[in-house]
Chain A
Amino acid sequence: MFSLFRKGKKPAEPAPAAQSAAAPAAADSAERKPTTTASGGRMVKINLTVNGKPVSADIDARTLLVQLLRENLRLTGTHVGCDTSQCGACVVHLDGRAVKSCTTLAASCDAAKVVTIEGLAQGGKLHPMQEAFREHHGLQCGFCTPGMIMAAVDIVARRGGRVSEEVVRADLEGNICRCTGYHNIVAAVLAGAAAMSAAGTAKPQAAE
Chain B
Amino acid sequence: MTATGIGAPVKRKEDQRFITGKGQYTDDINRQGQAYAVFVRSPHAHAALKNIDLSAALTSPGCLGAFTGADLAADKVGTLICGWMIHSKDGSPMKAGAHPALAQGKVRYVGDHVAVVIGETLNAAKDAAEKVSVEYEALPAVTDLAGAQSSGQAQIHAEAANNTVYQWHLGDKAAVAAAFASARHVTKIDLINNRLIPNAIEPRAAIGEYDAGNDSLTLYTTSQNPHVTRLVLAAFIGLAPEHKLRVIAPDVGGGFGSKIFIYAEETVCLWAARKIGRPVKWTGDRSEAFLADAHGRDHVTKAELAVDANGKILGLRASTKANLGGYLSTFASSVPTYLYAPLLSGQYDIPAIYCEVDGVYTNTAPVDAYRGAGRPEATFVVERLVEVAARQIGMDPAEFRRLNFIKSFPHQTPVIMAYDVGDYEACLDKALELADYKGLAARKAESAKKGLKRGLGFSAYIEACGIAPSQAVGSLGAGVGLWESAEVRVNPTGSVEVLTGSHSHGQGHETTFAQLVSQRLGIPIEQVTVVHGDTDKVQFGMGTYGSRSGAVGMSAIFRAIDKVIVKAKKVAGFVLEVPEDSVDFNDGIFSSKATNKTLTFPEVALQAYIAHKFTGAQLEPGLKEGAFFDPTNFTFPSGVHICELEIDPATGATRIERWTAVDDFGTLVNPMIVEGQVHGGIVQGVGQALLEGAVYNKDGQLVTASFMDYTMPRASDVPSFKVAMTSTPCPSNPLGIKGCGEAGAIAAPAAVINAITDALGHEGVAMPATPQAVWRAANTSAQKLAAE
Contact = CB atoms under 8 A, between A and B. Distances in A.
Nearest to A165: B720
Interface in B17-68: 17-25, 27-28, 30, 34, 60-62
A47 interface: no
A182 B28 contact: no
Contacts of A182: 679, 683, 713-715, 718
B683 A78 contact: no
B498 interface: no
A6 interface: no
B134 to A, nearest CB: 21
A28 B15 CA distance: 37
A1 to B, nearest CB: 25
A94 B254 CA distance: 28
Contacts of A32: 61
Nearest to A78: B21
Contacts of B506: 140-142, 179
Nearest to B712: A176
A38 B19 contact: no
Interface in B639-672: 672
Given A26-B120, A83-B285, A126 B19 contact: yes
B21 to A, nearest CB: 2
Interface in A123-168: 126, 130, 133-135, 137, 139-146, 149, 165, 168
Contacts of A169: 715-716
Contacts of B14: 142
Given A28-B120, A137-B673, A149 B201 contact: no
Contacts of A3: none
B201 A60 contact: no
B715 A185 contact: yes
A134 B19 contact: yes
B184 to A, nearest CB: 41
A86 interface: yes
Query: B18, B23, B62, B287: which has the most chain A beta carbons within 10 Å?
Result: B18
A86 B707 contact: yes
Contact of B62 (A38, A82, A84, A141): A38
A144 B253 CA distance: 8
A124 to B, nearest CB: 11
A141 to B, nearest CB: 3
Interface stretch (B121-129, B135-143, B408-416): B121-129
Contact of B199 (A133, A141, A178, A187): A178
A131 B120 CA distance: 41
A181 B120 contact: no
Given A137-B673, A183-B720, A117 B715 contact: no
Contacts of B253: 79, 81, 141-144
Contacts of B739: none
A18 interface: no
A176 B201 contact: yes
A181 B123 contact: no
A176 B19 contact: no
A145 B18 contact: yes
Nearest to B22: A77
A180 B680 contact: yes
B21 A87 contact: no
Nearest to A127: B19
B14 to A, nearest CB: 7
Contact of B61 (A39, A130, A176, A187): A39
Interface string B720-734: 110000000000000
Nearest to A143: B253
B718 A140 contact: no
Contacts of A168: 715
Query: B16, B505, B716: which has the most chain A beta carbons within 10 Å?
Result: B716
B19 A145 contact: yes
A184 interface: yes
Contact of B715 (A70, A126, A130, A186): A186
Contacts of A186: 715, 720
B594 to A, nearest CB: 46
Contacts of A82: 285-286, 706-707
B173 interface: no
Nearest to A133: B19
Interface string A35-50: 0011111000000000
A80 B672 CA distance: 28
B287 A83 contact: yes
Interface in B674-708: 675-676, 679-684, 706-708
Contact of B679 (A28, A39, A175, A181): A181
Nearest to B34: A26
Interface string A3-39: 0000000000000000000001111110010000111
B200 interface: yes
Interface string B153-187: 00000000000000000000000000000000000
Contact of A76 (B28, B508, B679, B716): B28
Given A140-B508, A142-B251, A180 B18 contact: no
B352 to A, nearest CB: 37
A149 B34 CA distance: 32
A106 interface: no
A134 B24 CA distance: 18
Contact of B708 (A60, A86, A140): A86
Contact of A176 (B17, B60, B707, B708): B707
A185 B718 CA distance: 12
Given A76-B21, A140-B506, A145-B19, A172 B201 contact: no
A199 interface: no
A78 B18 CA distance: 11
A137 B121 contact: no
Nearest to B29: A76
A89 interface: yes
B707 A84 contact: yes
Contact of B714 (A62, A176, A179, A184): A176
B718 A181 contact: yes
Nearest to A38: B62
A90 to B, nearest CB: 11
B28 A29 contact: no
Given A28-B120, A135-B11, A181-B744, A84 B708 contact: yes
A206 interface: no
B120 A29 contact: yes
Contact of B15 (A76, A139, A146): A139
Contacts of A86: 706-708, 712
B680 A140 contact: yes
B202 interface: yes
Interface of A: 24-29, 32, 37-41, 60, 62, 70, 75-84, 86-87, 89, 116-118, 120-121, 126, 130, 133-135, 137, 139-146, 149, 165, 168-170, 172-173, 175-187
Given A137-B11, A146-B18, 4 more contacts: A89-B201, A134-B11, A143-B23, A179-B680
Question: Which 7 pairs show the lowest CB-CB distances between chains A and B?
Answer: A77-B21, A143-B253, A142-B18, A141-B506, A181-B679, A181-B683, A140-B506
18 contacts: A29-B124, A37-B121, A39-B61, A76-B27, A141-B200, A141-B252, A143-B23, A146-B21, A165-B720, A169-B715, A170-B715, A172-B716, A173-B714, A176-B712, A180-B676, A180-B680, A181-B681, A182-B714
Interface of B: 11-12, 14-25, 27-28, 30, 34, 60-62, 120-121, 123-124, 127, 199-203, 251-254, 256, 283, 285-287, 505-508, 672-673, 675-676, 679-684, 706-708, 712-716, 718, 720-721, 744
